[in-house]
Amino acid sequence: MMTIEEISMADVKEIAVMENKYMYAPYSLTVLNEMLKNPNCIGFKVVEDGVTAGYISGQTVIDEFNINNVVVKENYRRKGYATALIEKVIERCKAENIKKLYLEVAQSNEAARKLYEKMGFKFSYERKKYYGNQSALVLIKSI
Ligand SMILES: CC(C)(COP(=O)(O)OP(=O)(O)OC[C@H]1O[C@@H](n2cnc3c(N)ncnc32)[C@H](O)[C@@H]1OP(=O)(O)O)[C@@H](O)C(=O)NCCC(=O)NCCS
């Protein structure tokens, strides 16, 4: 069974492990702790049979929401979990009267770019060499 649950400080270690394993520019435990303490931070995890399979987090900036990270563990991918996490964030944002979602994705991250495109995010602008030698694409979705 799969459920989507709000993340709390108790999840921070598990999230740090996923960050280190799967992210190009992982957040450290210290940064994650600070993020989760921020009252503007919203995050959800996807849990399958008691195991955390992935998570999403981001923060509200007035009437906008910035998605910081979406990660799904390798053996849980292509099951719609990232989609479900983003949909949950959209549902929460709508309830809080947020009008726009933002995110940054590395240009070479084809899986993530496909996912966001499928979910209706549109290219806004390029941040050159944002990740070392790689550009970041800033994507926006109005909700
Ligand atoms: C990107 C990521 C979060 C996708 O998670 P996921 O749970 O597998 O995504 P979903 O199952 O919801 O996929 C939805 C759609 O996105 C696209 N997609 C996802 N992974 C893809 C891949 N590897 N190649 C091509 N398209 C892909 C497909 O259109 C897919 O729909 P389909 O399975 O019906 O074809 C996951 O690959 C991941 O954790 N990657 C490493 C971390 C990362 O790069 N995060 C993004 C940082 S900005």
Query: Taking the complete model, does pTM exceed 0.95, yes or no?
Result: yes
Determine phi and psi for 21, rounding to 5 degrees: -80, -40
For ligand 1, pick from 4, 24, 77, 118 the residue to mutate: most ligand atoms within 8 Å of CB: 77
pLDDT at residue number 113: 98
Residue 72's DSSP bridge partners are 54
Blockwise average pLDDT, block size 10, the chain, 143 residues:
95 95 90 93 97 97 95 98 98 96 96 98 95 93 98
Ligand 1 center to 83 CA (angstroms) = 8
d(CA 110, CA 57): 20
Q: What is the pLDDT of residue 108?
A: 93
Return the pLDDT at 132. 85
Q: What pLDDT is attached to residue 25? A: 82
How high is the pLDDT of residue 133? 87
Atom of ligand 1 nearest to the CA of 104: 48
Please tell me the total count of domains within the chain: 1
Q: Which domain holds residue 72?
A: 2-142
Which residue CA neighbors atom 27 of ligand 1 most closely?
111
- Can you give the pLDDT at residue 24? 82
Any idea what DSSP says for residue 75? G
Q: What's the CATH code of the domain at 114?
A: 3.40.630.30
- Tell whether the torsion through CA atoms of 14, 80, 67 and 57 is positive or negative: negative
| CA end-to-end distance (rounded Å), the chain | 29
